[in-house]
Every structure is written in C-alpha cells, then in structure tokens.
Structure 1
Amino acid sequence: MSKKKKSVVKPGQKLIAQNKQARRLFDLSEFMEAGLVLQGCEVKSLRIGRVNFKDGYVRFSNGEAWLVGVHISPYENTGVLAQPDPERPRKLLLHSREITAFQAKAEQKGLSVVPTKMYFSAGRVKVQIALGKGKNVRSKRDDLKARDIARDTARQLAAYK
C-alpha cells in the first residue's frame, strides 16, 4: 500500500507552483506569507499554473518589498496591448514592520530573501518568502550523500520485512 504524501499547503489553499531550486541552493530559515499586486490577466495565467521562479528574489527599496525575476507567462486570450511585461517587478503586500525586520536580517547576516511557493488562499494570490543562506558546493554534495544513504537504508529495511 502506498503512503499518502504530506500536504504542501493548508486546507483551503490551492498550490500554483513551488520553487524547488530554492531548497537546493539555499538553507532556508524564516518563512513569511505575502500578498502580491497583480493585473487580472496575470491572475488568469496563474490559475493555469504558468509561473517560473527561476531567478526570483525579493528586493527592498523605499520601505517596500518587490518580487523580482519571477516570470508569469502572458495569458493567451488577452489583447497584445493589455499584456504586462512577464518579468516586471511586482510589489509584495507586507506590513512595514515585517519589511523592516526581513530587510535588517538580510543586510546584517548576508542572507537572501527568496520566494519558495505561490498559492491561492481564499481567492487571493499569496507568495511564501523565506530567508536563505546560500549553500556552497560541499554542502550540496553532503545533502546528496545524506539523501542517498537514507534511500539505501529504507530499501534495506523494506527488504527485511
């Protein structure tokens, strides 16, 4: 009998996309949920799941947080003139105290703020952002080695049952 997978999102939320590269490239510590300022055609494109986190990060300027480098593909049924730039910076909706706290931690400790997943919550688009410390090549190899060892031991335990 197969095991049920753990739910990635809470009940009442619909996952749009997850940034798998963030877990591979960064050690993630603090997570926070933020709203996102979007146009209507971008929301329709997100409902289809057409988003790419490839080089996404959060930039702070003038007391505001901006999501930069996330590609939301244009919606096909939108007129050419109404389509926004797919790579445009998008404003994150956070309280000012949350912005200053994340900005201070990112500047002091040399951390990056990266988006980890995007989902719908009560009809609104939300982005989960996290503080991340970049991994070096050695720590990436150690993670791969630990995963391989865990997989091998699980196979051996399954063989003895």
Structure 2
Amino acid sequence: MNSKTIASNKKARFDYFLDETFVAGLLLEGWEVKSLREGKLNLKESYIKDIKNELWLVGSRIDPVKFINQKEGVDPLRFRKLLLNKKEVKKILFAISAKGQTCVPVKLFWKGTLAKLELALARGKKNYDKKASKKIADINRDKERALKNFK
C-alpha cells in the first residue's frame, strides 16, 4: 500500500539513538481524522506513556479544523490510545522500565485509510553525541547546497 507521511518528529533524530521501531494504530475521534487530513498535527513534545499496561500518546497536538460542528468538548491535547499487539506492548513496557530507555513517536502516516504512528525505542544521547549528529547533518546540508548550485 502507498503511505503518505503526515508529520515527523525531527527532534528524535538528534536527541536519541533509535533502536527498534514499531507501527501502531491510533484511537481517534472523527474531527481528529479530518484535522490529520489537513496536516494539523504537532509531534514535537510528544512521548509514549504507560497507563495501566496500555500505551498512550501524550503531548501531541491536533488542532481542530474550522468546519467541525462540536466546538465545545474538543481537546487538542488529549491522550490518544495506541493500538498494538500484546507482544509488542510487553516488549515496549519492558524496554521503558529499563534505565535509560524510552519510547518516542517518530512519524505519523497514512496506510490506506488508516492513520499509523511509527514508534521507536530510544536511548538518550550524551552531549558529545548530539554535537556529532548535528555536525554530520550540517555537512550533509552543505553538500546538498553545493550540488544544487552546481546543477
């Protein structure tokens, strides 16, 4: 199937070492799906939280579109339940309980008519690792600029 990325979390690339990735479904309301179709999503400060052995997306913001009927009762910052297999949930919960590991959302994309969230188990980087990652990104950006000007 063809997939189209809605939003990605670029911060996750610089602040973490991404170890293993998972793809999860999201439990969304109707207005949220309409807003996602228009790309009104912010994943920058979001993370995955364990509540009663279930995984929830916390801190993501889906702004409502202008033309929805239910203006009251709309919470753009509400917790959204992640839909995963039991084995995947256990694996993620075990990794989160280990010291120094966390689970971060990497990107949200469409798979057919379903919105899917790509998660990654991650370890925090040290400051010298962050500097090295940013330096490599700067070098690659300069290469792209040089190639663009060359053509």
TM range (shorter): 0.7 to 0.9
Partner of residue 140 from structure 1, selected from 126, 130, 137: 130
Contact 2:14-2:134 within 8 A present in 1 as well = no
Q: Is 1:108 aligned to 2:101, yes or no? A: no
Aligned-residue RMSD, C-alpha:
2.2
> Match for residue 87 of structure 2?
97
Contact residue 17 and residue 118 of structure 1 kept, 8 A: yes
Match of 1:45 among 28, 35, 38: 35
Question: What is the CA-CA distance between 1:106 and the residue it aligns to?
Answer: 1.6
Moved over 3 A (4+): 146-156
User: What is the count of residue pairs matched by the alignment?
Assistant: 147
Quick one: structure 1 residues 58 and 152, their matched pair in 2 at CA, closer, same or farther if it must change by over 3 Å?
closer
**Which is higher, the Rg of structure 1 or of structure 2?**
1
Unaligned runs of 5+ in 2: none
Match in the other structure for 1:21: 11
Q: Do the aligned partners of residues 142 and 34 (structure 1) sit closer, same or farther apart at CA in structure 2, a change above 3 Å counting?
A: same
Say whether 1:66 aligns with 2:56: yes
Aligned-residue offset at 1:150: 5.5
Deviation sequence 1:31-80 (CA, Å, 0-9, x none): 00000000000000000000001210001121211000000001211131
TM-score w.r.t. the length of structure 2 is 0.87
Gaps of 5+ in 1: 1-10
Matched AA of 1:143: S
* CA distance in 1: counterparts of 2:134 and 2:3, whole angstroms: 31
Contact 1:58 1:66 in 2 (8 A): yes
Q: Which of 44, 47, 58 pairs up with 1:54?
A: 44
Q: Percent identity?
A: 38
How far residue 153 of structure 1 moved from its aligned partner, in angstroms, is 7.5
* TM-score, reference length from structure 1: 0.82
How far is 1:29 from its partner?
0.9
